Amino acid sequence: MKNKKSKFFKTIPEVLKSDTSDSLKQIRSVSIENQYWSNIFKQAFDEMPHDFTELNKSILRISKLKSNMSIANDLTEGISLNVRLSSNGALTRFKLVTPKLINILNGKGLNVALITSSLGVQK
């Protein structure tokens, strides 16, 4: 049994105080990736015939799945994305428009093979 408590999560001051913080680099990288995909999804929703402003607002995070995280990536060529949404209603609406969204993104030359969606935690 360890005498020291191992900390899985770091506090914000601990992350900011470290000079070469890998955690800070990872947070920054995830934030940049999320912003990139959010902008692309906003443009794609603008091309759709109906107003999807509220659906776009309910997206919490968009991340690109790594190739070793999914069997589907081994079976298909292209980008696999995971979208986290804020409510069950938004999740259902998003699943209905996912095929059209993939067509629009592929029309822009992004080669998206798969978009998975799930309910994110929002407090």
> For the chain, how many structural domains are there in total?
1
Residue 85 has pLDDT above 90, yes or no: yes
The pTM of the whole model exceeds 0.75: no
Give pLDDT tens digits for 15-46. 666 656 777 778 888 888 999 999 999 999 99
Domain membership flag for residue 16: no
Which residue in the block uniquely carries the two structure tokens 């259902």? 92
Mapped onto helix, strand or coil, the DSSP state of residue 51 is coil
Domain membership flag for residue 58: yes
Domain membership flag for residue 37: yes
Query: In what helix (H) or strand (E) does residue 75 lie, and over which residues does it extend?
Result: helix 71-75
